């Protein structure tokens, strides 16, 4: 799977979207669009957030579904919260 780039490989600054295009009619839209905050997370972390939403935000349900303990899931969420805080200017 191709990794979605969020940082500049040269200076490590955050990247922005310059161009969006429609695959159907090939219309192109240009501008400066900031990336959503969640794209700053690793694919694993994004999967975790997705799973969290799918579980209606219930850590208990998520722990049962993933076969791990409640504090394991909660700690992982805490890690992601910390990562998001670090990446927020």
- CB of 14 or CB of 47, closer to another protein: 47
Site string for another protein, 63-82 (x = CB under 8 A): --xxxxxxxxxxxx-x--xx
Rounded-to-integer distance, Cα 31 and Cα 23, Å = 18
Please report whether residue 38 would count as binding another protein according to CB under 8 A. no
Rounded least distance, CB 74 to another protein, Å: 7
- CB of 7 or CB of 54, closer to another protein: 54
């Amino acid at each position: 799977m191709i990794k979605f780039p969020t940082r500049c490989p040269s200076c490590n600054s955050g990247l922005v979207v310059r161009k969006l295009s429609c695959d159907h009619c090939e219309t192109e839209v240009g501008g400066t669009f900031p990336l959503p905050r969640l794209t700053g997370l690793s694919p694993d972390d994004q999967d975790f957030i997705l799973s969290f939403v799918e579980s209606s935000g219930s850590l208990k349900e998520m722990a049962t579904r993933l076969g791990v303990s409640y504090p394991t899931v909660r700690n992982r969420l805490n890690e992601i919260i910390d990562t998001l805080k670090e990446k927020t200017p």
